[in-house]
A = this chain, B = another copy of it.
């Protein structure tokens, strides 16, 4: 039997946000070979219908399967909310979303039982984090906070400064009278705004708060499960990284490197995903 440990891990997102998840996976498991697929031709998924998103996710997974991946990480909140069940039905490899891992950590860590979820309008509307949290601890008090301007601010690199701080103060104002002690960064774009969010949170909220990002929590869940299954590559050598994109807009690499936190080094490769939504 072929050695499954040495196969790559596939990571799929609608755009660049998932690169924060890839970065967290590299930090946690530097030896793993990784293939990132960004569906930049169809980004953003947030406003698409559930059936469309499910179809996009299945088509993307089919492309990554041809690269003999040993596990799939759906590093996109919308695709995690709508596509995970369909992917687990279709694939015979472990499939990870970005929602459950961080929800589990938040449910364990919160002492006050009051948790805030920051996300895009689409993610908040899907109630995916709310459902995941209440399934784990039904008595939790969950405060959803839609933060639609954070993705454009992050993509434009406005990571700190008064504009971003004022936008955050606006979004987090409703949390002031609550007992929130745990904030979930429920969008793969938000880890690069972590310092700004921590600063405003500290200034606005009275008690100590914990910021949990889905990128790190997901990387930890992948490491745990692949470790338990004996699927981790045992090596000290740095793994390979590959970047597949369905569109290569100008300026992409600069934005991507902001999320990836390091130079991309490898060329980004253009790929087409078969679109079966109309079938």
**Residues of A with Cβ closer than 8 Å to B?**
40-41, 43, 47-49, 52, 121, 125, 148-149, 151-153, 155-156, 158, 162-163, 166-167, 170, 247, 249-251, 275, 278
Contact = CB atoms under 8 A, between A and B. Distances in A.
A232 B40 CA distance: 42
Contacts of A278: 275
A117 to B, nearest CB: 18
Contact of A149 (B47, B121, B158, B170): B158
Contacts of A166: 162-163, 166
Q: Tell me which of A43, A148, A163, A247 has the highest count of chain B C-beta atoms within 10 A of its own C-beta.
A: A163
A279 to B, nearest CB: 12
9 contacts: A41-B48, A47-B249, A125-B250, A148-B156, A149-B158, A162-B166, A163-B167, A163-B170, A275-B275
Contact of A153 (B48, B121, B149, B250): B149
Nearest to A163: B166
A250 B156 CA distance: 26
Consensus secondary structure, chain A interface: loop
Contacts of A251: 121
A164 to B, nearest CB: 9
Q: Tell me which of A40, A43, A249 has the highest count of chain B C-beta atoms within 10 A of its own C-beta.
A: A249
Q: Tell me which of A125, A152, A166 has the highest count of chain B C-beta atoms within 10 A of its own C-beta.
A: A152
A34 to B, nearest CB: 24
A247 B163 CA distance: 32
Contacts of A275: 275, 278
Nearest to A46: B249
A49 B167 contact: no
Contacts of A152: 148-149, 151-152
A1 to B, nearest CB: 38
Given A149-B152, A152-B148, A247 B48 contact: yes
A38 to B, nearest CB: 12
Nearest to A166: B163
A162 B163 CA distance: 8
A167 B121 CA distance: 22
B125 A47 contact: no
A149 B148 CA distance: 12
A49 B167 CA distance: 32
A247 B148 CA distance: 19
Pairs of residues from A and B, 4 with the lowest C-beta to C-beta distance, nearest first:
A47-B249, A152-B152, A163-B166, A148-B156
